Structure 1
Amino acid sequence: MCRCFAADLDWDAIAARFDVDKDATDPAALPAPSYNLRPKRTIGIVAQGRDGRRHLAGAYWSLIPAWSADKELPYPTYNARVESACVKPTFAESAKSMRAIIPATGYYEYHGHRPYYFHAPNDVPLLLAGLFSWWRAPQSQGPAPWLLTATILTCQAVDGPAAIHDRMPLLVPHDMTDIWLDRAVDGTALMTNMQQGGIALSRKLAFHEVASFGPTGDGRTLIRPLPQPHTPSLF
């Protein structure tokens, strides 16, 4: 699972990487640098609109399907299992044609109560696979704006990451970003291929234990490796 990640990013560079038009980006809606992004906060996502253009936007991190009558669902939706996203009513419509990329500096997984920070060895941004949905409160409650919401897809953990947690975020390989964002491509068959490429990328990640932190902590100190206890030598 992924319930906390870091995003200290150059949004202009992200927009250029994905050929996002300047007028398709609202800098004010994008999150400030943070090393402690949690569900129900604003995160940055790259997605393709119905107009065929790519957008870089701020999104509410917990997907709310368009048919939901309430913003608060009775179950968490900040993560979606890639194995079942295409058939779960909450995520099925988004998995079909509303896929997103969620750029991140790194992410955390917990082994019991001990947090570990995962990142690329060269610290290039990670491209987390996500889904998005537009939601608006029922009109019976009065006029309301549309809210862009998103979730992070997870897959079965392998190798080193599996020693920390049994799930991990699904990564989008750089050579698959175009097809992942393409709304004309049905996501049903795409999910299997994406898993294979994403798992291969995860095997290359570096990770280390960090000190425990609360929901209000922030800053680069959160990703500082936890000092390992020194074992005294008798000689």
Structure 2
Amino acid sequence: MCRCFAADLDWDAIGARFDVDKDETDPAALPAPSYNLRPKQTIGIVAQGRDGRRHLTGAYWSLIPTWSTGRELSYLTYNARVESACVKPTFAESAKSMRAIIPVSGYYEYHGRRPYYFHAPNDAPLFLAGLFSWWRAPQGSAPWLLTATILTCGAVDGPATVHDRMPLLVPHDLTAAWLDRSVNGASLITDMQQGGIGLSRKLAFHEVAAFGPTDDGRTLIRPLLQPHTPSLF
């Protein structure tokens, strides 16, 4: 489960990391730095268009399938379980050919009511596996809305002591395939899970003070207790 994350990123560096042409980056659509991004807010995503070119832009965090008649669904879609994303009607089309990478500084998970912050030991960006979909209201001439969800998988090792689910991390060697719309997502899922688990074992995490939906700033990730770092042995 991932319902809140931090993104204080150098978007130019992210674009370069994923070979996004500067003409395909939309700075105005990308979110301002935040340590408290939540569902139904704008998040940054990297995705491939039908033209085969990679794009870096903002998306509404809660996937709305193209066939939905309304913007508000009766169930939550800010996360999708990787185990069932390929077969559930809400996510199946996106899992097949509309996959994204969601760059974050770190993310939060809750153990009961106690929040923990997860991040790379060197504070490098994390790249979460996501899905995207374009949606437009069936009536009128409203513009198309780009929407996205974060894939989650079962947590292991240290992360599992906080929560039984966690975001699926994209392994470096699967980045190109994950973004490639010509590759069927079902064929990637097993490899993605295995690679993502390996990356998750390297995460550092620590408990942070409780915070509300309107709180923000770097103080939110300040350790409440001694941080946990992965063992070197």
TM over 0.5: yes
Name the counterpart of 2:90.
90
Structure 1 residues 82-106: Cα deviation after superposition (integer angstroms, max 9, x where no partner): 0000000000000000000000000
Task: Tell me, in whole angstroms, the C-alpha distance in 1 between the residues paired with 2:177 and 2:5.
Answer: 25
For residue 190 of structure 2, give the secondary structure of its aligned residue in structure 1.
helix
For residue 90 of structure 2, give the secondary structure of its aligned residue in structure 1.
coil
Task: Tell me, in whole angstroms, the C-alpha distance in 1 between the residues paired with 2:166 and 2:18.
Answer: 24
Within the alignment, does 1:35 sit opposite 2:35 as a pair?
Answer: yes
Task: Tell me, in whole angstroms, the C-alpha distance in 2 between the residues paired with 1:201 and 1:227.
Answer: 24
Name the counterpart of 1:75.
75
Task: Tell me, in whole angstroms, the C-alpha distance in 1 between the residues paired with 2:181 and 2:133.
Answer: 13
Letter in 2 for 1:214: G
Task: Tell me, in whole angstroms, the C-alpha distance in 2 between the residues paired with 1:79 and 1:189.
Answer: 20
Task: Tell me, in whole angstroms, the C-alpha distance in 2 between the residues paired with 1:175 and 1:188.
Answer: 17
> What is the CA-CA distance between 1:132 and the residue it aligns to?
0.1
> What is the CA-CA distance between 1:227 and the residue it aligns to?
3.9
Letter in 1 for 2:138: P
- Aligned with residue 164 of structure 1, among 140, 149, 162: 162
Structure 1 residues 135-190: Cα deviation after superposition (integer angstroms, max 9, x where no partner): 00013xx1100000000000001011001000000000112110110000000121
Question: Contact 2:47–2:55 (CA<8 Å) still a contact in 1?
Answer: yes
Letter in 1 for 2:174: M
Letter in 2 for 1:183: R
Aligned pairs for 1:154-193 within 5 A: 154-193=152-191
For structure 1, the 5+ residue unaligned runs are: 229-235
Name the counterpart of 1:231.
none
Letter in 2 for 1:87: V
Structure 2 length-normalised TM: 0.96
Task: Tell me, in whole angstroms, the C-alpha distance in 2 between the residues paired with 1:176 and 1:85.
Answer: 18
Structure of higher CA gyration radius: 1
Letter in 1 for 2:18: F
Task: Tell me, in whole angstroms, the C-alpha distance in 1 between the residues paired with 2:184 and 2:147.
Answer: 20
Question: Contact 2:206–2:225 (CA<8 Å) still a contact in 1?
Answer: no
Task: Tell me, in whole angstroms, the C-alpha distance in 1 between the residues paired with 2:126 and 2:22.
Answer: 22
Within the alignment, does 1:59 sit opposite 2:68 as a pair?
Answer: no
Letter in 1 for 2:9: L
Within the alignment, does 1:126 sit opposite 2:126 as a pair?
Answer: yes
Structure 1 length-normalised TM: 0.95
> What is the CA-CA distance between 1:125 and the residue it aligns to?
0.3
Task: Tell me, in whole angstroms, the C-alpha distance in 2 between the residues paired with 1:188 and 1:75.
Answer: 24
Name the counterpart of 1:46.
46
Question: Contact 2:48–2:181 (CA<8 Å) still a contact in 1?
Answer: yes
For residue 95 of structure 2, give the secondary structure of its aligned residue in structure 1.
helix
Name the counterpart of 2:99.
99
